[in-house]
A and B are shown apart, each in its own frame.
Chain A
C-alpha cells in the first residue's frame, strides 16, 4: 500500500498539528515568588525537641495520632499520611540536634513538574497545594520528590496523597485555611522558643543571614533551602551538617530543570523526526520499487 501525495500531506500535517498541541511556555510551577512568598525558618540551635509543632499540626488538621511499631502512643517514626511534620533526633558522637522535617514547598517543585494532571500546584503565595479531585493516584510525585515528602493514604479504598499544606487547606478546605485569615501555620505559631518562625521568604532569608553573621561560630555557614534544589520555602539553619538532619545534598539547579528543558524539545523532535523518517523512507523505497 503506497502513500499518495495527498495522504502524505495529510500525515505531515497531522505531525505538525500535533506540535501545535504543545503549549508554548508551560509554567510547570505557578510562578511562586522566591522573595515574597510565605516561608518558614527552622533553627536547630533553638529547637528543644518539644514537638509542639508536630502536635499542633496534628491538632489543627485533625490528623489522628500514630503509634510507633511497639505501640507507643503518639510516636510516629516518619512522615506519613497522618503526620505532616515530624521532629527527629540526630544523636551523634559529639553532637546532637533535633530536626524538623516536612514539605519544603520548593520554589520549583519536582512533584509539580512530575504530576501528570496538575494535582499538585505551586501557588503564587508560595505553598504547594494538592487537589484530590484531579489526582489519579499514580504516586509519581512521591518518587520525584528529593525529600520524600508526599505520602499516601494506603488504607483508604480511594487514597489521596497527603502532605503539609502550609495551613492553606489546599485552597479548598476553608476551615483548615489559616493563611488567608492572616494566621501563621499552626506549627510555627506553637513553637515556644522561636526555633520555627514564618514570614515572607525574603524577610526570613535576611534574618537567617543576620543570625549567621552575628553568631558565626554557632552555625554551619549555609542557609539550607536558599539555593538548594533551586530554593525551598522552608529554610534551615543548623549547628550540625545538614545531611545529619536527614536533608539531601542538592545542587543549585531545580530538580525538574532537565525534565523541563527536555519536554518542549523532545516531543517536536520526535514528531518532526518521525515524520521525516517515515516520509523519507516511504519516498526512497517507493522510488526503488519504481526503478525495479
Chain B
C-alpha cells in the first residue's frame, strides 16, 4: 500500500502555531466549563445568544461539504465526485465536531446535554431539538463514512467491507438527516419573527437555509479540496471543480430569486435601502456572497479551478455575514444593552477552529485522502 511519493518533511511551523492555538482554545474551553459563563463571556439576559451560536449557525452549512458531495457521488451517478469524497466528508466531520465543541461551551447546563436524546423529554415541535438530535445522529453516520480512511491504514479489511457494502444506506441516511437539520436550523428562526429583522425573517427561511447549505457545502468542498490538492502536490482536476461550480451557480441563482422574490412578495423590498446598517449588511452578504460568485461562475473564470475556488471563498464570506447576522446581529435586543464577544469567547472559538484545521492537516499527512491516486 504505497502512497504516492512525498518527501519526508519535518513538522511545519503552521502545525506548531495551530497546535498552540488549539491548546489555548481547549484550555480556555475547559476553564469556561469549570467556572461558568459569567466571567468567560459577555452574554447577558439582554443578549442571551452571541458569538458562539452565530458561529454554529455558520459552521453547520459550511460543513455541508459532506452531505452534498456524498449525495452527488453516490446517488447522482457522478463517479468523478468519488475522488473528492474523503476530504469532503472529513471536512464535514471536522466542521460538525467544531459545531458540537462550540455548542458545549455555549450550553449553560451542558452536563444534561443527553436530554436531547431521551424520548420522554424531546420536543419534536422544537426545531432546535431537530437540529441537536440530527447533528448527533449525523456525526455517527459521518464516523462510519470516514472509518475506511482510517481502517485501511491498519488493513482492517472486514469492517471496511462491511461499511462499504452498506455505504448507500449509510450515505442515504446521512443525506436525509443533513437535509433535515440544515433546513431545521433555519426553521428555528420561524418562531422568532418578533426578534429577527424582517430583512432576514421569512416563512421560507428553511428553504433558504437548505439552499445555502447546498451551495455553501459545495463551496467549502471546492475550497478545501483545491487547497489540499495543492498542498499535496496533486493536479487540480479543473473539470471536476468546474462541474462543482456549475452546480453551485444554479443553486446560487435559485437562492437569489427566492430571497429577493420573497422580499418582493411581502412588500419588504424597500427595507433593502431603508434599514440603515442592516441594509448595509444584507447588501454585503448578497453582493459578496451571491452576486459576485454568480458573476465569476457564469463567466469564463468559472471554467478555471482557481475561479471556482475564489467563488467558493466569496460564498463562504457571504455565508458568514448572513449567518452571523441571523444568529446574532439581526436579533433584536434592547437599545441600551450592549454585547461584544469576550476575548475568551473569541479565543476559544479560534482554538477550536485551529484544532479542526490541525486535525485535517494531520489526517492528510498520515492517511490517504485521495486513494484514486494510489494504485
Contacts and interface: CB of A to CB of B under 8 A. Distances in A.
Q: Tell me, yes or no, whether A and B come into direct contact in the complex with CB atoms closer than 8 A.
A: yes
Interface of A: 1-3, 7, 10-11, 14-15, 18, 22-23, 26, 28, 78-81, 110, 113-119, 132-140, 142-144, 146, 148, 151-152, 154-160, 248, 250, 255-256, 258-260, 262-263, 266-267, 270-271, 274-275, 278, 281-282, 284-286, 288-289
Interface stretch (B2-10, B185-193, B289-297, B342-350): B185-193
B373 interface: no
B190 A262 contact: yes
B175 interface: yes
B191 A144 contact: yes
Contacts, number: 197
Contacts of B198: none
A271 B176 contact: yes
B191 A110 contact: yes
Contacts of B180: 267, 270-271
B49 A157 contact: no
Interface string B331-352: 1000000000000000000000
Contact of B206 (A81, A134, A266): A266
Contacts of A142: 45, 48
Contacts of A134: 112, 115, 121
B77 A282 contact: yes
B40 to A, nearest CB: 10
A274 B112 contact: no
Contact of B191 (A79, A117, A259, A282): A259
14 contacts: A22-B124, A116-B123, A117-B129, A134-B121, A135-B115, A136-B109, A139-B108, A148-B46, A259-B125, A270-B176, A270-B180, A270-B183, A271-B180, A289-B77
B132 interface: yes
Given A116-B128, A278-B175, A143 B192 contact: yes
A154 B115 contact: no
A22 to B, nearest CB: 6
Those 4 A-B pairs whose CB atoms lie nearest each other, nearest first: A137-B108, A285-B77, A116-B129, A137-B109
Contacts of B159: none
Nearest to B205: A262
B124 A114 contact: no
A283 to B, nearest CB: 10
Given A113-B191, A282-B75, A136 B123 contact: no
B191 A281 contact: no
Interface in B266-308: none
A18 B125 contact: no
Contact of A159 (B75, B108, B115, B126): B108
A140 B187 CA distance: 13
Contacts of B203: 258, 262
Given A256-B125, A267-B180, 16 more contacts: A1-B164, A1-B168, A11-B169, A18-B176, A116-B123, A116-B129, A117-B129, A135-B112, A136-B108, A152-B45, A255-B194, A263-B187, A266-B206, A270-B176, A274-B179, A281-B76
A286 B291 CA distance: 35
Contacts of B172: 11, 14, 275, 278
Contacts of B36: 154-159
Contact of A274 (B116, B166, B176, B184): B176
Given A158-B109, A256-B191, A7 B38 contact: no
Interface string B145-178: 0000000000000000000101111001101100
A104 B36 CA distance: 29
B115 A136 contact: yes
Interface in B56-89: 71, 74-78
B173 A263 contact: no
Contact of B107 (A10, A137, A155): A137
Contacts of A133: 112
B231 interface: no
Contacts of A285: 75-78
Contacts of A146: 194
A134 B122 CA distance: 10
Contacts of A159: 36-37, 108-109
A111 to B, nearest CB: 10
- The CB with the most chain A CB atoms within 10 A, among B71, B75, B179, is that of B75
A266 B187 contact: yes
B109 A259 contact: no
B113 interface: yes
